[in-house]
Amino acid sequence: MRQHLRGYTSAMTAPIERKPIRKAVFPVAGLGTRFLPATKAIPKEMLPIIDRPLIQYAVDEAREAGIEQLIFVTGRGKTSIVEHFDTAYELEATMTGRGKALDVLEPTRIQPGNLVTVRQQVPLGLGHAIWCARAIVGDEPFAIFLPDELMIGAPGCMKQMVEAYNEVGGNLISVLEVPHEEVSSYGVIKPGAHVAHGLTEVLGLVEKPKLADAPSNLIISGRYILQPEVMRTLENQGKGAGGEIQLTDAMARMIGEQPFHAVTFAGRRYDCGSKLGFVEATLELALGRADMADDVRALVRRLADEIG
């Protein structure tokens, strides 16, 4: 177990200018080995949940929250992610010629100049992937989206976080409450003062604690709003767990130096980095769609009866 604890009170932290959240980093360079062989030639972020790839859900969430610039940290074999948000002239011309509406493609349209890519040449962890975007982030606070974590809610997770950021500033992470017996599988926060409904001070971060040592049952999920100083922290940070540069280690070093809060997401989270979570997300989102819910429900019942 790795534990990072620092004393924290609002009075101990220096005030930070509250700049708007305009940029978001999407670390999408991972190999997706848990979904091999499907991900041998297709990025895991392009695996579809019904009729939209995972990355599309994350981008939709970002734009709902007012994010203007999307920064994709990519790797080899990930060009289809960028192409998904490009204009497909031949496709659109064919659809138009056949009298088909193009509104289904509207979510894939990004204003020219608002999508930027950088390359993570070596797989040195999440912290390193975020650091690769330092030149584009510059001196602004920024959001981070882990597309594997599919967050469904109204409003979306990042919009909830931006609203909290507008109240308290500083650094924020999204958290979810899970049964206590599950905490050993996740990063967990040590909570401090309750600030408002769903908003809590963060005193520390604990990676995959033993049940007896877990400071709470609030797990860290895949959304962050961080101040640009985290880039300087990552710059000089050594390797952590797994021989990788860990974002959690960098965040832990900022606790006590800057305001740090957790936003409990009011919505549903699906771990689409796992096969079971991917299937769960597909079924639950299908059951929530008016155009297919009845058919999917009947299909599930039939399969349950036939397969047992």
Read off the pLDDT of residues 281-294 as tens digits, 9 standing for 90 and up.
999 999 999 999 99
Give the span between the Cα atoms of 280 and 272, in whole angstroms: 9
Quick one: tokens of 105? 């493609």
Same structural domain for residues 84 and 137?
yes
Pair 186, 104: CB distance under 8 Å: no
Range of the domain at 174: 2-273
The pLDDT tens digits of the residues spanning 63-75 come to 999 999 999 999 8
Comparing 131 with 12, the larger pLDDT belongs to 131
Shared domain check, 106 and 9: yes
Q: How far apart are CA 81 and CA 72, in angstroms?
A: 9
Taking the CA of residue 38 as centre, how many other CA atoms within 13 Å lie in the half-sphere pointing to its CB? 10
199-207 and 115-119 strand pairing = unpaired
Looking at the chain, the whole-number percentage of residues with pLDDT higher than 70 is 93
Query: Are 189 and 253 within 8 A, CB to CB?
Result: no
* Domain CATH number, residue 223: 3.90.550.10
- Do 153 and 88 share a domain, yes or no? yes
Which tops the pLDDT comparison, 144 or 213?
144
Q: Are residues 267 and 285 in the same domain?
A: no
Same domain, 10 and 156: yes
pLDDT for 196? 82
User: Residues near 112 by Cβ (< 8 Å), separated by ≥ 6?
Assistant: none
Q: How many distinct structural domains can be found in the chain?
A: 2
pLDDT above 90 as % of the chain? 59
Residues 198 and 302 in one domain: no
User: What is the model's pLDDT at position 65?
Assistant: 96
The pLDDT of residue 49 is above 90: yes
Average pLDDT of the chain, as a whole number: 88
pLDDT 10s digits, 159-211: 999 999 998 899 999 999 888 888 888 888 888 888 888 899 999 888 778 88
Kindly tell me if the per-residue pLDDT of 308 is higher than 70: no
Q: Is the dihedral of CA 252, 254, 259, 264 positive or negative?
A: negative
Q: For the chain, what is the largest distance between any 2 Cα atoms, rounded to a whole number of angstroms?
A: 64
Tell the residue number behind the tokens 């606070």, with chain if given.
141
| Torsion angle of C-alpha atoms 55, 234, 124, 219, degrees rounded to 10 | -60
Question: Domain check: are 284 and 198 in the same one?
Answer: no
Between CA 294 and CA 24 the distance in angstroms is 37
pLDDT tens per residue across span 200-233: 999 988 877 888 888 888 989 899 999 999 999 9
